[in-house]
Amino acid sequence: MPYCTNCGSPVGTGNFYCPNCGVRQPGAPPSQFGASGASGFGQYSQTDFLGSISDRTASVLCYIPVFGVLPAIVFLASQRFRHNSRVRFDGFQSVYLFVAWLIVSSALPTLLYSGYPPHVWLAGGLLGLIKVAVFICWVYLLIKAAQQQQVHLPIIGDLAARSTTEQL
């Protein structure tokens, strides 16, 4: 049985790419795209795209308020950051913080506004304070990631640390 030239894992005789790392194997038919990466689609792969991103930049991108969940998911799914516990922790913490933001933005208003009308102003003020607190937390984490300091949030950080160790 042949083995991958990059990672050494077993590769089937009919496989042109390694199922573990995705590297093209010798004997694979030539690509239908151009040989240079400048010809549009061509040879650009996920590792080329993420290869120029530093760990610090990846951690900072995870904490962009509200939209940071998109790069976080990309970094969590990428092979390049598969064994980087710092970036994975920041990615998981960003995803869990986004879930908390969704709960505060959509689920809590439904629960709090479904009661007797006189307490609506109190519920609106409470939701506003919680939203501001989550947003300030996002900005604080963004600044700390830019300073290359890792911050564990009380509940979300514990979940992120557990997810990071389980995924490695």
pLDDT in tens, 132-148: 998 999 999 999 999 99
Looking at per-residue pLDDT, the higher value among 32 and 94 belongs to 94
Residue 125 has pLDDT above 90, yes or no: no
d(CA 45, CA 65): 27
SS3 17: strand
- The mean pLDDT of the chain is 80
pLDDT tens digit sequence for 19-63? 777 788 887 666 544 444 443 333 444 445 677 888 899 999 999
Who's near 125: CB < 8 A, 6+ residues apart? Answer: none
d(CA 138, CA 69): 11
Q: How many CB atoms lie within 10 A of CB 41?
A: 9
Beta-bridge partners for 24: 17
d(CA 13, CA 145): 45
Note if the pTM is more than 0.75.
Answer: no
